[in-house]
Structure 1
Amino acid sequence: MERKGSAAGAKGNPSPPAAGEAQRPQPPLCVPGGGGGGTPARGQAGAAAEPAEFIRRAHEFKSQGAQCYKDKKFREAIGKYHRALLELKGLLPAAGERERDSRGASPAGAPNPGRLSEEQSKTVEAIEIDCYNSLAACLLQAELVNYERVKEYCLKVLKKEGENFKALYRSGVAFYHLGDYDKALYYLKEARTRQPTDTNVIRYIQLTEMKLSRCSQREKEAM
């Protein structure tokens, strides 16, 4: 009977650790209701400030690019505009992600961490539009113009802002020099609806119509 009692006592009181074995620290006791009043972690505050910092740097690089363009330092300007776009990369969700977010929207009033505010989203898009438009303008100043790249940048602008006059006009110019006269005429006429008296637009429309007329004449002769 005594043996059973001593065994029970041993079972209820575990032996202390052997010599040389470190005593494990006990986890802190949880105080009910004490988790809500703590100070937010530094990482959370930093994450909230991150988008604003990226936008600030992008705006700074864009301004530097504009100054380089004014100084006719077009290669340097291109580098600055690319740096600005790099700062913004990943801030705006892709179209598929936006669609998922809209379908799985948070309840009204619930916080949506890691997302830009409406004002920040508009600022990011405005900077992107300015940068792509300016990149196209820089490329058009080169001795050997990469019209394929000009077209690419202008179409990026039009995807975000379909009535942008500069992008419409430069798209028309790019398609003209790439030999796609039908598309060139389309974009140039769209540009003319925005600024009917612009002499450059009118000139390129005339040039494009002449090219189309010649192509049509050749087709008739070939038949």
Structure 2
Amino acid sequence: DPPRASSAPPLHRREPLTGGGGFQLPPPPLAAAAGGDGGGGHRAGSAEMEMETKIQKAIDFKAEGNRCYKEKKFREAIGKYHRALLQLKGVHVVDGTTGSEVNLLSQAAAKLTEEQRRAVESTEIECYDSLTACLLQSELVNYERVKEYCLKVLSHQKDHFKAMYRAGIAFYHLGDYECALRYLRDAKNREPTDTNVLRYIQLTEMKMSKSGQRERESGKESQG
């Protein structure tokens, strides 16, 4: 990385924005760059600039989270990923994919470009995926939270291997063996030779077999 300047640039100055995920965000609209005309164009332009700033901040927090994760500072990494996701909450435009979520920026007629939309989605997926990886490093794993984050990833990307596998692990430890087996088999379809997936499928089938045996035995006792 190039060395940073000794003092931060003033907020109004525009620097080219490049994200850790390889996204080059487009320059601000001409109205925003020129300061606008004092009317609706200026408001929309400033909203677009604000939206772009939020996306860039999210990408930066995600990159900081990745650094913390590599240094095994998992709690710090979790904080960074949450801050990244918080930035993105203010970006969403109600377009049918975010339900009833209201975006204040949309009132100023700001719209995400296709490139920005891809940057937002990619950053969200990476943050939730990394959060599950951090949580699984905990001494006491919150499997309910792992499940929640995996399902968020899969809502964006249905064939995400790690999310399918980790969702399977979460459901297994939560005692929902049928759901666990479903996600683990989906993961196996993606990676048929992955030994961790195969091991968890075996463990889940054993649990289901024992559970079925107990049910049959308790049924016999009640009949007797």
TM-score, normalising length from structure 2?
Answer: 0.73
Give the greater-gyration-radius structure (CA): 1
Amino acid at match of 2:159: E
Cα deviation, residue 98, structure 1:
6.9
For the Cα contact (< 8 Å) 2:44–2:110, is it kept in 1? no
Equivalent in the alignment of 2:56: 56
Amino acid at match of 2:92: L
For the Cα contact (< 8 Å) 2:61–2:81, is it kept in 1? yes
Aligned residues: 175
**Which of these residues, 125, 130, 149, is aligned with residue 121 of structure 2?**
125
The CA RMSD measured in Å over matched residues stands at 2.1
Equivalent in the alignment of 1:178: 174
Matches within 5 A, 1:175-214: 175-214=171-210
Q: Indicate whether 1:68 and 2:65 are aligned.
A: no
Matches within 5 A, 1:55-204: 55-94=55-94, 96=96, 113-204=109-200
Deviations, residues 78-128 of structure 1 (Å, cap 9, x unaligned): 00000100111131234647789xxxxxxxxxxx93110111111101100
TM-score, normalising length from structure 1?
Answer: 0.73
Equivalent in the alignment of 1:6: none
Deviations, residues 168-210 of structure 1 (Å, cap 9, x unaligned): 0000000000000000000000011111111111110110010
Q: Which runs of 5+ in 2 are unaligned?
A: 1-34, 101-107, 220-224
Amino acid at match of 2:167: S
The percent of aligned pairs where both chains have the same amino acid is 59
For the Cα contact (< 8 Å) 2:132–2:149, is it kept in 1? yes
Q: Secondary structure at the match of 2:138?
A: coil
CA shift in 2, pair 1:165/1:45, >3 Å = same
